[in-house]
Structure 1
Amino acid sequence: MKAMKPVIVLSIAVAFVIIMIPAVLVLPFSNDATSGKLAEHVEKKEKEEGKEVTANEMSSIDVAVYRSATKKIQKLPLESYLSGVVAAEMPADFEEEALKAQALTARTYIVNQLISNNRQGLPEGADVGDTVMHQVYKNDNELKKQWGSDYKWKMKKIDKAIKETEGQILTYNGNPITATFFSTSNGYTENSEEYWQAEFPYLKSVSSPWDKESPKFYNKMVVNAGDFERKLGVSLSSGTTIGTVVQRTSGNRVGMVDIGGKKLTGKQIREKLALNSSDFDWERQGNQIVITTKGYGHGVGMSQYGANGMAREGKNYEDIVKYYYKGVKVQSSSKWINTLTAKK
């Protein structure tokens, strides 16, 4: 019997191990405390690889805005800057989904601007201006003065749009896009290369029928014939003819005009005469040129009144931005925010 004891002990030990191994393997997944720690580890890893950006992280980045009126630089958290941009760029009484689309374009624009080295036209230390050269920005005091008793509800609505798109930007092929926008189209947006000569695959002409409801869809202005000649550097004939449109763009704007042998682009004429749009018709009445325009703005990218029209029809902000910017993705800005934070 004594000789059998080691065998018995060994058999018991083996049986114990066989029984316990499955229990050991299952234990970390069945024990609540250990399971929680494992889930935390997995969740942490997932967040590190592609995490959403929180408001605190966005606000840890400062934006240095050159204030054109005071000629001073104002530094403020990125999220606060976005509030001032959306408030200045889009009417607060627009639909919430349109305001979210605007928040997305504004955030994309400033993230793109911050990671670039382009500070052309800005004083040293400034990241961006507060005019249409970049994005229009107004601070709280300016908005309170502008809105008066409506300030609270308007600001609450805008902040909600920013919060509900928190950390999101628009990308194409994994990079932030040039998120251009404007007020009102002539019924179509414009190919980027037909206005700026720089081609972006996501800035292509699309139909925008909602803009016809915009109060800025039509505009008429009168220019003295002498001022017309001086500003455009042309000479008008004594008849009623002003010039011939020799080319139209994909967005049905004026591409090229021939005035007495001098050729000018629609963009040049719009800028020199301060027209609302490069979609125009004109008529000579004695010593005056009557010019009628359709749309308001350069026409490239997202139409704000178009976005509002889409929102009224039940489209959400992702529907809107993906309609006006072809082939883009709505993506977390964490990759770029982390880069900017690391530079601080």
Structure 2
Amino acid sequence: MKKLPRLLAILLCFPLLGNLFMAEDERPQREERMASTAGFSVIVEMQNGSYCYDPEEVLPFMMASMLADQKGEELCRAAAVICRTNLVYKWQQENRPGQLILEDTGMACRDEITDHMQQAAADTVGIVLTYEGEVIPAPFFYMSSGKTRDTGLPFLKSVDCSDNLYDKEYLLQYHYRKKDFYARIKEISGWKFCNSLQDMELERDDSGYVKVIHCTGEEMILTADALCQVMELRSPDFDWEEQENLIMIRTRGIGHGIGFDVCYGARLDAQGMEYRQILEYFYKDIMLDKRYNACE
């Protein structure tokens, strides 16, 4: 498989799992757990110890974090396959026999899990996304700015999601005091001569997302991801303008724009697509491969 682009590799390093929020006696200890039919168990490292789960037990918590307020049976099935694929991919990449170790990150709790999520995990048990026989990384995000991004990988091409433009959450504006804004820019970029937006140029990809920012007279570049993290912007598709003593930034969409668009996936579900069709819309030329069965 082609080497992962740096941005995608970074995205896949983010935690996959949310807080399981189980009572102490509900959490199976590592030594009490039987081997999973998946070939590995998920070890969740917490402050009060390590807890062992079958990958299928973990999926609903991951799905709750991924889907937020979006619903739909076929969307849930697609999400189950995506989350399972990422678990298997991460386990294979770490190459640790029989186990995948994750840190508990507090992303989702038991109360956020629905019956649809649990049923979706059961309906798709063992199914993962593959390309040319290999399990793929399956990034996802909440809402694109109209298109997903092309990563250079054959299964992660840009696709149209233009109906997102009509979503009430599509646009968001941020305002910063000029003094604070330029101080932050200089701090994270190392630039010395950045005192106006006219000094900076936004370089975009083919889908309209900002990749990097150039500054006149400076050799170093600033990545859009670094800016989004420091300024707490919810999307790297943005524009900006000066307004008297303020800098206004307007973002489009929610998330990094690579892979599965949850909001558009919900639209495809509402249009009658089955989960396999929804997955094939976002991940090109993939196969849905059943790698294991449910635990007995």
Q: TM-score range with shorter-chain normalisation?
A: 0.7 to 0.9
Identity %: 26
| 1:313, distance to aligned residue in structure 2 (A) | 0.8
Among 33, 38, 43, the residue aligned to 1:64: 43
**In structure 2, what is the equivalent of residue 281 of structure 1?**
239
Q: What per-residue deviation string (whole Å, max 9, x for no partner) do you get for residues 192-236 of structure 1?
A: 2xxxxxx42211111112323544321111122233223221444
Matches within 5 A, 1:114-263: 114-117=91-94, 127-131=101-105, 138=108, 142-144=109-111, 147=112, 155-192=114-151, 199-233=152-186, 234=191, 235-237=193-195, 241=198, 243-245=200-202, 247-262=203-218, 263=221
- Using the alignment, how far apart are the partners of 1:71 and 1:281 within structure 2? 45
**Is residue 295 from structure 1 mapped to residue 253 from structure 2 by the alignment?**
yes
Structure 1: tracts of 5 or more residues without a match: 1-55, 120-124, 148-153, 193-198
Q: Structure 2 vs 1, CA of residues 305 and 331 (structure 1 numbering), >3 Å: closer, same or farther? A: same
AA in 1 matched with 2:184: K
Query: What is the one-letter code of the residue matched to 1:143?
Result: R
1:82 to 59, 71, 75: 59
- Highest Rg: 1 or 2? 1
- 1:226 aligned partner, one-letter code: K
Aligned mates of 2:289, 2:39 — CA distance in 1: 19
2:101 partner letter: D
More helix by share: 1
* Residue 94 in structure 1 maps to residue 71 in structure 2: yes
Q: Which amino acid aligns with 1:321?
A: L
For residue 209 of structure 2, what is the amino acid of its counterpart?
Answer: R
Q: What are the superposed Cα offsets for residues 108-164 of structure 1, whole Å, 9 maximum, x if unpaired?
A: 000111222278xxxxx8622344xxxx753xxx333xx5xxxxxx52111111111
* Cα separation, 2, equivalents of 1:82 and 1:107: 7
Q: Distance in 1 between matches of 2:76 and 2:278?
A: 11
TM-superposition CA deviations, 1:71-125 (whole Å, max 9, x none): 7533222111011111222136511111111111000000111222278xxxxx8
- Relative distance call for 1:250 and 1:223 in structure 2 (3 A) is same
Quick check: 1:240–1:285 contact (8 Å CA) kept in 2?
A: no
Mapped to 1, the partners of 2:64 and 2:197 lie a distance apart of 45
TM-score by length of 2: 0.75
Structure 1 residue 332 displacement after superposition: 0.9
d(CA) in 1 for partners of 2:216, 2:271: 47
Query: Following the alignment from structure 1 to structure 2, what is the Cα–Cα distance between the partners of residues 324 and 71?
Result: 39
Count of residues in correspondence between the two structures: 252
Q: Tell me how far 1:58 sits from its aligned partner.
A: 4.4
CA–CA separation in structure 1 for the residues paired with 2:258 and 2:230 = 19
Q: Deviations over 1:267-322 (max 9, x none)?
A: 33223322111110111122321110001111110010011011111111111111
* In 1: Cα distance, 2:52 partner to 2:166 partner: 38
Q: Structure 1 pair 103/127, CA: closer, same or farther in 2 (3 Å)?
A: same
Structure 2 vs 1, CA of residues 118 and 92 (structure 1 numbering), >3 Å: closer, same or farther?
farther
Note the aligned Cα RMSD (angstroms).
2.8
- Map 1:301-340 → 2, pairs under 5 A: 301-334=259-292
Give the secondary-structure state (helix, strand or coil) at the position aligned to 1:116.
Answer: helix
Question: 2:26 maps to which residue?
Answer: none
Instruction: Extract unaligned runs of 5+ from structure 2.
Output: 1-34
Preserved CA contact (<8 Å) 2:41 2:100: no
Preserved contact between residue 98 and residue 317 of structure 1 (Cα < 8 Å): yes
Q: Deviations over 1:168-201 (max 9, x none)?
A: 0000010100010001100011122xxxxxx422
Distance in 2 (alpha carbons) for counterparts of 1:320 and 1:241: 42
